[in-house]
Each structure stands twice: as C-alpha cells, then as structure tokens.
Amino acid sequence: MRIWNRKGLMFQAQDFETEAQFIHFVKCINICDLLGLGKYSNCIFHDDHTQSASIFRAKETGEYLYTCHSSNCCLDAGKSFTGDIFKLLMMITGCDFRHTIEFFKLVLNSSIETRRDMVNSSHNRDLNIGYIEGNESIIRDKGKTLCPKAMKIAGKSLRVLCTLYSIAKTNQYASVNSRREICFSESATHLRTEMEKLYDGCGNIKTSQELAILAYLGLIRKIAYDEIDDDWQVQSAINMALNSDSGVKLINQLCIIKLTPEKLKAIEDRAEQWNKYHYQKKTFSFEEIEKNEGIFAAMKIYPQGCKVKVNDKPKQRQTKSDFILE
C-alpha cells in the first residue's frame, strides 16, 4: 500500500467517494504535523516574537484550526485570525482552493470518485426545494393552528428549523432516503453560523439543544449511528475517529421530514408527551429522557451522545463494524 511519509507522519492512501469527504479528512489532520509547528508558536504571517499563534481542534467537527491572536497580524488588521489548513496553504502558496485540493490529493496519494447517486442532479434539487418550501409554508401559515402545543414548545427552535431548511436547499450532497426524508450532515457550529446570517444575532440559543428539541417533537429526525449506511456519511465520521486518540462525537446526521397531515398530528402528540413529563427546554437532556422514557428513547434524540472508539487494527478503509459505541 502506498504511504506518504513526512517527518515520521504516516498516511495510507485512500479513495474518497466525495470531495466534501476528502476535504473534511484533510482538515482533521493536525496542522502541527502538517506545517511542523507547535501547539503555540510565533505567527507565520507576521514578525512575531510572542507566540501569538495557536492550533486547536474544534470539538463539534474534529477539524484543526490555526489562530493568531495578535492585532499586529497582517491577515486581519486589528482582529484575531482563524483559518483551517486549506486557508493557510492558500495564503502561503498563493494558490486557489481548487489547486490546494489537488495538492493534498497528490501528497496524500488520494483520489476522489464522486458517486452519481450521492450527488443530487439539478432536477432532484428542484424537488427538494419544493418539498422544503412546502414545509416552510406550513410552519409559517398553519403551524399555530394545526400544532399549537408543538409550536409553543418549539419557540425559538423554529429559527433553527428554518435555517436547516435553508441549508438543505443548497446542499448538493443531501440525499433522499427510502422514507422520502432529505438527509445531510450538519455540525452545530456551521448551523449557528448560517443562522446568524439569516437572523440578526442568535442570542444565547444553543444549537445542539435546539436540535434535540426539534427531534423530540418530530420536526426533524436524527439518524442513529447504526442506521447510517456504510457510505460517505459514515465515512466522514470514521475519518474524524481515525484522527482522534480518545474518540469524538459524530457530526449530526439529520433528516428533514415532509410535514403531511398525519405527521403534523404525530408532532402535536409528541408535544403532549413533552408536557406529560414536564420537560423544560433549559434542562432537556439525554438523562431527562432516559429517566422518564428509557435509554432507547433517549438514544433516538441523542444518537451522537456516545463517543466512537476505533478497534485496534490497521487503519485501512474501516466500516461501522470496526467501531464501538461507548
């Protein structure tokens, strides 16, 4: 097997099914190893003698980021700068994003073969947009009439739902499963960023908490780990785990559900269930659901609540059978 060896850093050649999967894999490689830097170091973009730069790993995505905290940095005068390995390399080399991807494909001996069935055609995207706009119309015009209890409980969570709708419209890797649900990966960090674009600030909204509330009510569905097909979705999570010593939480795998009359009734029934157990948004948690409804009910709402540990075997193209939920 072809291996790239740089300063003792070993990478096995891999074939990726989508470009997004490959990009995420690269971002999960420690920037310290790629650029030969320490966790704290002098900034590489300005004359720095105080170790203003640091490298850290984002908890939500498992991706590494470089930050310069100095106001003297030439990259963003007067402000701290944060960027991933692609942004750093583009600044260092002057290459564009496309050439930077090709560079990493070369040095990592990797290839990308996009599967046609994983990328929506423009026709399918149009269908998805129609599906989602139908949901938006129902929430906006009929929600308080058809699901008054659920809409009251959801409250500001509806902003998160509408942001998910907006993301799904343009997500070229969103797929439609056998249930006719639109499925895609979405980190809480990216979701919050997109929500801030749509709304004037998010206040103290906790996106992970709001997703759990939406899932409990049945307005969205979180895909449990064991439900994920052994394709690009699970491989994305595997790539994160392969670059972690202790295991990381999986990125949210979400499904948008078509709001049919039957589904709206079920959503209102879930609101009654919420009230029955006296759940509160501030204290809503895995433990609360487990206490009232059992662990299986809790795992449906928090399927990413467990960490993933990789079996001790050569890090080849692993599948979900090679992983253990702790």
Residue ending a domain, among 112, 141, 176, is 112
Lowest mean pLDDT among 1-5, 25-29, 127-131, 245-249: 1-5
pLDDT, greater one: 120 or 302: 302
Mean pLDDT over the full length of the chain? 77
Given a cut of 60, is residue 21 above it in pLDDT? yes
Nearest to 57 by CA among 32, 37, 79: 32
pLDDT of residue 285: 92
Residue ending a domain, among 73, 90, 112, is 112
107 and 244 share one domain: no
Domain of 62?
10-112
Reported as a pLDDT band with limits 50, 70 and 90, residue 293 is: very high
Given a cut of 50, is residue 126 above it in pLDDT? yes
Phi/psi of residue 159, nearest 5 degrees? -65, -40
pLDDT of residue 89: 86
pLDDT of residue 201: 65
Given a cut of 70, is residue 11 above it in pLDDT? no
pLDDT of residue 208: 87
**Residues 6+ away with beta carbon under 8 Å from 286:** 298, 301, 302, 305
158 and 302 share one domain: yes
Reported as a pLDDT band with limits 50, 70 and 90, residue 120 is: very low
pLDDT of residue 6: 43
**Highest mean predicted confidence (pLDDT) among 105-119, 158-172, 227-241, 273-287:** 273-287
50 and 174 share one domain: no
pLDDT of residue 277: 96
216 and 189 share one domain: yes
Q: Are strands 220-222 and 252-256 parallel, antiparallel or unpaired?
A: antiparallel
255 and 285 share one domain: yes
Residue ending a domain, among 77, 93, 112, is 112
Q: Is 54 within the bounds of a domain?
A: yes
Query: How many domains is the chain partitioned into structurally?
Result: 2
Reported as a pLDDT band with limits 50, 70 and 90, residue 1 is: very low
Q: Is 1 within the bounds of a domain?
A: no
pLDDT, greater one: 41 or 249: 41
Given a cut of 60, is residue 8 above it in pLDDT? no
91 and 27 share one domain: yes
197 and 101 share one domain: no
Given a cut of 50, is residue 4 above it in pLDDT? no
78 and 150 share one domain: no
Q: Tell me, what CATH number does 32's domain have? A: 3.90.580.10
pTM of the full structure: 0.57
59 and 150 share one domain: no
pLDDT, greater one: 130 or 308: 130
Q: Is 3 within the bounds of a domain?
A: no
Q: Is 58 within the bounds of a domain?
A: yes
**Across the chain, where does the E strand assignment appear?**
3-6, 9-12, 15-16, 40-41, 53-57, 64-68, 81-83, 111-112, 175-176, 182-186, 220-222, 252-256, 308-310, 323-325
Burial class of residue 8, CB neighbours in 10 A (0-12, 13-18, 19+): exposed
Reported as a pLDDT band with limits 50, 70 and 90, residue 228 is: low
Q: Is 2 within the bounds of a domain?
A: no
pLDDT, greater one: 325 or 237: 237
**How far is the first Cα of the chain from the last one, in angstroms, to the nearest whole number?**
31
Taking CA atoms, 34 is separated from 5, 7, 22, 30, 293, in Å, by 11, 9, 16, 7, 47
pLDDT of residue 76: 52
Reported as a pLDDT band with limits 50, 70 and 90, residue 272 is: very high
